[in-house]
């Protein structure tokens, strides 16, 4: 009993106890009872048109969801769902009895159907069983309608195949065929039946009484289709076109097994085994597969609805409805029908369109539904974010999540979709604003991975589209990846200022260093000039000339000539060495020997001069600054040896290597520094600068470990017995 404004507008008596009921649109009332299960009343105001029982189980509750699916809960047998599409199944009291329907073809405003148990029917609202010829039946093959109110049936037997020609609904002739027929195609123009078999492509000439079979090609043929009186046929290797007039074969698709062919407006469709479907439009081939939304890539059959521009493709696990709006531009939409949509099975064998009804055959009988229900719009699927992970760590979704920037910045968003209808056809669309590419992307997976995101502010927009072409409202999620402090503006400004300060300090230090280097070069140059002057000591030159004059006055031409030649050689060697920054140590030794020889001549052979280079690996490969040691040797001779009266003098120069440096020891047995200083003061001699110049030059070179040291030598009685100067450079 139902009320409207306190008035009863619907009343119906049911002897069973009503447990739950609800009113739905379209004048339907669903009622659940204790003893009679659940049913549906069709009513109009207070008139009941009919009652349809739905289930017989003890019903606890009935309700409908946002997609108009009806849900019925029971006390003992779980939950039942009646999909919104409400497909009709031809089972129940029909002779199909839920069997596998292997053939289905439209014929004379009805259907030719055959089931796996070996029965053939004609259905036009009622089932009529047709007569089969006597044979050792194994399975039905193919059925095809020809001209003149006839159809041809292929039967697989235990021994060979059989072609049965029906006139009306009666078998007219049976023809044995020595091959296993995969598919048949009929040419009305030349009245030929083309057959694709396991080992050849052939045709049966229907114009002759003996139905002669002619072989066209000897290959394994999976399917054949008559196209403008030429033949399209599929093989394990591809799709081919056979010109029946020129007897010429051309390859259309290579390397793909083709199992189904049909013709559409301005094109051909080929169904493959594992690669989806291929649409041939003039010189263009369009491939549609599971990645584009197809229910599967293994195609069992193809059917073209020229009125609604719909291509039906039966796959290994569902039925795909492909709606074309602009095929040349690849504009199409795919809907998927399966068990959850209302079909009685996901295994589908064929599809036929008869008047305004679509018939689908499968391993559980035949399902049918009106064509106009294809345009029924379902409610939008509900999409929400179920979980979020940032770098593999779960985070709680907020209105605006903030993440600290790390090395990878990988975000994974897990989604849940609430939609019972056509769940296999739901596609998730998403886009991420905050990056240069803000285009919408699609996926069939229920998780979205955003990898290696740079710091910034982002908005993830999500929507779901179901197989009816409807889309959910957009779900937004805002988040930010904050830059680490070393990437933030304030830190960069401070870093730039510090960098500028550092550059300024480095520049100032560099300038100071350059100035210091320039100063050192000036000092070094000055010391080298002083060294040159020291070697060219005027006293030495004057004394040498005096010695030469003495030899000349004594008519000792031999010694005078020898002295002049040795003196000239020394001057030349000093001048040559002064042109170089460094000279071989052997050259310096030669200069010292020549200098000491001249001084010894002047002093009448008063001392011995010894140079020891035995501790050097090779004096020719050891380089030293020129004019470095001679001033020290000059001091030893002039201020130490020259004033000896009671013993013979000796000057020893010893070279050795120490820590990649050269060590030179100049030792004399002269009067010592203390006595020499007294003599210089008494005679008003100026202090010799040779020692200071050499020390300064070594210090200016700046080598680590270099030094100049002076040591006074004493005899056993404590008297001065000479001087030792050590140079390390």
What CATH number corresponds to the domain at position 150? 2.130.10.10
Q: Do 521 and 388 fall into the same domain? A: no
Q: Which domain holds residue 47?
A: 2-82
| Domain harbouring 652, CATH code | 3.30.565.10
- Contact call for residues 115 and 76 (beta carbons, < 8 A): no
In a domain, residue 174? The reply is yes
In a domain, residue 332? The reply is no
| Domain harbouring 411, CATH code | 2.60.40.10
Q: Do 57 and 25 fall into the same domain? A: yes
Q: How far is the CA of 600 from the CAs of 291, 531, 575, 638, 669, in angstroms?
A: 107, 22, 22, 11, 15
Nearest to 88 by CA among 333, 302, 367: 367
Q: Do 526 and 409 fall into the same domain? A: no
Which of 48, 82, 116 terminates a domain? The answer is 82
In a domain, residue 308? The reply is no
Q: Do 544 and 681 fall into the same domain? A: yes
Q: Do 77 and 105 fall into the same domain? A: no
Number of other CB atoms surrounding residue 643 within 10 Å: 14
Q: Do 122 and 221 fall into the same domain? A: yes
Grouped pLDDT means (10 residues each) for the chain, 729 residues: 60 64 67 79 59 79 81 88 74 78 94 95 92 92 88 92 94 92 92 92 85 86 92 96 90 95 92 96 89 90 91 92 75 81 86 92 89 68 87 89 81 84 71 91 88 90 75 89 80 91 92 83 63 54 76 83 88 84 90 90 90 90 86 89 90 93 94 85 67 78 85 89 93
Q: Do 660 and 542 fall into the same domain? A: yes
In a domain, residue 371? The reply is no
Nearest to 310 by CA among 297, 323, 329, 292: 323
Q: Do 123 and 198 fall into the same domain? A: yes
Q: Do 398 and 543 fall into the same domain? A: no
DSSP summary character for residue 637 = I
Collapse the DSSP code of 290 into the 3-class scheme (helix H, G, I; strand E, B; otherwise coil) and give the result.
helix
Which of 299, 332, 360 terminates a domain? The answer is 299
In a domain, residue 317? The reply is no
Q: Do 124 and 266 fall into the same domain? A: yes
Q: Do 77 and 172 fall into the same domain? A: no
Collapse the DSSP code of 105 into the 3-class scheme (helix H, G, I; strand E, B; otherwise coil) and give the result.
strand
In a domain, residue 277? The reply is yes
Which of 264, 281, 299 terminates a domain? The answer is 299
Total domains in the chain come to 4
| Kind and range of the H or E run holding 38 | strand 38-44
In a domain, residue 711? The reply is yes
Nearest to 290 by CA among 269, 301, 275: 275
| Kind and range of the H or E run holding 250 | strand 248-254
In a domain, residue 187? The reply is yes
Q: Do 572 and 673 fall into the same domain? A: yes
């Amino acid at each position: 009993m139902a009320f409207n404004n306190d008035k009863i507008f619907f009343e119906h008596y049911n002897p069973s106890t009503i447990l739950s009921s609800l009113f739905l649109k379209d004048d339907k009332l669903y009622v659940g009872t204790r003893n009679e299960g659940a049913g549906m009343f069709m009513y109009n105001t207070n008139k009941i048109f009919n009652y349809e029982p739905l289930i017989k189980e003890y019903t606890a509750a009935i309700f409908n969801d946002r997609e108009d699916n009806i849900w019925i809960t029971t006390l003992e047998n779980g939950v039942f769902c009646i999909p919104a599409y409400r497909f009709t199944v031809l089972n129940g009291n029909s002779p199909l009895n839920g069997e596998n329907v292997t053939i289905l073809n439209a014929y004379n405003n009805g259907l030719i159907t055959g089931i796996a148990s070996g029965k053939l029917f004609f259905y036009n609202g009622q089932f009529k069983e047709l007569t089969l010829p006597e044979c050792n039946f194994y399975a039905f093959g193919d059925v095809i309608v020809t001209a003149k109110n006839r159809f041809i049936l292929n039967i697989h037997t235990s021994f060979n195949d059989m072609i049965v020609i029906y006139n009306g609904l009666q078998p007219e002739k049976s023809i044995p065929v020595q091959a296993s027929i995969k598919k048949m195609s009929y040419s009305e123009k030349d009245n030929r039946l083309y057959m694709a078999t396991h080992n050849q492509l052939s045709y049966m000439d229907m114009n002759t009484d003996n139905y002669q079979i002619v072989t066209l090609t000897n290959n394994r043929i999976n399917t054949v289709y008559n196209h403008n009186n030429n033949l399209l046929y599929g093989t394990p290797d591809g799709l081919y076109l056979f010109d029946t007039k020129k007897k010429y074969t051309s390859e259309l698709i290579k390397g793909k097994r083709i199992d189904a062919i049909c013709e559409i407006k301005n094109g051909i469709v080929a169904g493959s085994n594992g690669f989806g479907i291929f649409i041939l439009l003039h010189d263009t081939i369009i491939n549609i597969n599971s990645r584009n939304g197809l229910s599967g890539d293994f195609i069992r059959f193809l059917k073209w609805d020229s009125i609604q521009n719909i291509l039906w493709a039966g796959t290994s696990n569902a039925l795909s409805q492909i709606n074309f709006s602009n095929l040349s531009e690849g504009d199409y939409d795919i809907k998927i029908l399966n068990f959850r949509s209302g079909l009685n099975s996901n295994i589908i064998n064929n599809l036929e369109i008869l008047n305004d009804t679509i018939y689908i055959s499968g391993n559980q009988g035949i399902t049918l539904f009106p064509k106009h229900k294809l345009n029924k719009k379902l409610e939008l699927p509900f999409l929400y974010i179920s979980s979020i992970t940032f770098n593999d760590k779960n985070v709680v979704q907020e209105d605006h999540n903030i993440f600290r920037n790390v090395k990878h910045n990988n975000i994974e968003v897990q989604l849940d979709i609430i939609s019972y209808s056509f769940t296999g056809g739901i596609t998730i669309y998403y886009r991420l604003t905050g990056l240069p590419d803000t285009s919408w992307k699609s996926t069939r997976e229920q998780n979205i991975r955003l990898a290696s995101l740079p710091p910034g502010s982002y908005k993830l927009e999500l929507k779901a589209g179901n197989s009816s072409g409807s889309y959910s409202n957009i779900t937004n999620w805002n988040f930010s990846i904050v830059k680490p402090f070393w990437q933030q503006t304030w830190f960069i400004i401070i870093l730039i200022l510090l960098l500028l300060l550092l550059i300024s300090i480095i520049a100032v230090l560099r300038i100071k260093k350059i100035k210091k280097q320039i100063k050192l070069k000036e000092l070094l140059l000055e010391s080298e000039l002083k060294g040159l002057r020291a070697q060219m000591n005027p006293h030495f030159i004057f004394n040498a000339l005096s010695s030469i004059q003495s030899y000349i006055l004594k008519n000792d031409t031999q010694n005078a000539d020898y002295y002049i030649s040795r003196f000239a050689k020394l001057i030349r060697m000093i001048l040559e060495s002064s042109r170089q920054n460094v000279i071989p140590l052997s050259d310096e030794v030669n200069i010292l020997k020549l200098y000491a020889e001249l001084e010894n001549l002047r002093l009448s052979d008063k001392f011995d001069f010894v140079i020891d280079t035995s501790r050097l690996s090779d004096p020719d490969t050891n380089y030293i600054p020129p004019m470095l040691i001679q001033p020290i040797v000059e001091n030893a001779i002039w201020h130490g040896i020259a004033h000896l009266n009671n013993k013979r003098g000796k000057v020893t120069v010893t070279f050795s290597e120490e820590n990649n440096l050269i060590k030179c020891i100049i030792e004399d047995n002269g009067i010592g520094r203390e006595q020499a200083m007294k003599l210089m003061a008494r005679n008003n001699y100026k202090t010799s600068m040779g020692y200071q110049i050499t020390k300064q030059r070594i210090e200016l070179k700046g080598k680590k470990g270099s030094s100049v040291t002076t040591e006074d030598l004493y005899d056993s009685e404590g008297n001065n017995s000479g001087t030792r100067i050590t140079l390390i450079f």
